[in-house]
Amino acid sequence: MSQTTLIGGLHPVQAALRYDPTRVREVWVDSRRRDGRHQKLRRQLEALQCPVHACHPRVLDEKLPDFNHQGVILAWQGQPPLDERDLTTHLDALDHDPLILVLDQVQDPHNLGACLRSADAAGVDAVITPRDRAAGLTPVVHRVAAGAAEAVPLYQVTNLVRCLRDLRDRGIWLLGLADAGAIGLHDSDLGGAVAVVMGAEGTGLRRLTREHCDALVAIPMAGRVESLNVSVATGVVLFEAVRQRSALT
């Protein structure tokens, strides 16, 4: 059964809007704040056609006492967006070598939905995306994912490079996909604790993301097309991981 949660602060509220704007039920904003960030946020909220209440900051203080709400609080129906702390708790609780999918700034909701669908089918334990410049759980994502958006936990992290370092410290092998990868996909090792790292549409992995991967692999291409759509490539890599991991059991 879903519950209503109060989320306060500019950054958390913006993250919630990217994650799944359909879950926003009601919003309270500080009527005294007129700076550009608050004005932009108010326009976003009003476009959702949900109740937006301009009120005295004292009202916000009463709703979230001793909390830096930064002049905005929203009522969220269901589970709040998952973040780094939730990811740590989730990984600590696993009793097997995890298979993780990292999407570096995938912005097309159709691609994110298709990636989540492949992740669910492949038994991925967690999907990680950066909080900024990446698609969230929009209605389009839910539709394309066909139920996978509810089944596979999606974690939005503030700093993707730091998250990759944390995964490596846990003994998780970071395998990035790149056209110039030195290792062919079928020659790679996807059998243990692995995070598959995929780049954005068109641009691929960012430099820092690439540099923090333990190895770069390439999908063998026999035709004239130089690369695959990120969601298609994700499916190819994940099911190679399924094949290798099945052979070990």
Determine how β-strand 72-77 pairs with β-strand 4-8.
antiparallel
Inter-residue contact 177 to 218 (CB < 8 Å): yes
pLDDT for 180: 82
* 91 within 8 A of 119, measured Cβ to Cβ: no
Sign of CA pseudo-dihedral 22, 153, 177, 170: positive
Whose CA is closest to 27, among 83, 100, 76, 78? 76
pLDDT for residue 1: 43
pLDDT at 166: 97
Radius of gyration of the chain (CA): 20
- Residue ranges, the chain, pLDDT below 50: 1
Pick the closest to residue 231 from 209, 201, 205 (CA basis). 201
Query: What is residue 205's predicted lDDT score, i.e. its pLDDT?
Result: 94
- Give all domains of the chain, ordered by start, each with its CATH number: 4-77 (3.30.1330.30), 84-247 (3.40.1280.10)
Q: What is the pLDDT of residue 3?
A: 67
The reported pLDDT for the residue numbered 190 is: 95
pLDDT, tens digit, for every residue of 84-106? 999 999 999 999 999 999 999 99
DSSP code string of 161-195: HHHHHHHHHTT-EEEEE-TT-SEEGGGS--SSSEE
Asked if 74 contacts 164 with a C-beta cutoff of 8 angstroms, the reply is: no
- Give the percent of the chain with pLDDT over 70: 98
| Angle value at C-alpha 83, between 79 and 87, nearest 5 degrees | 100
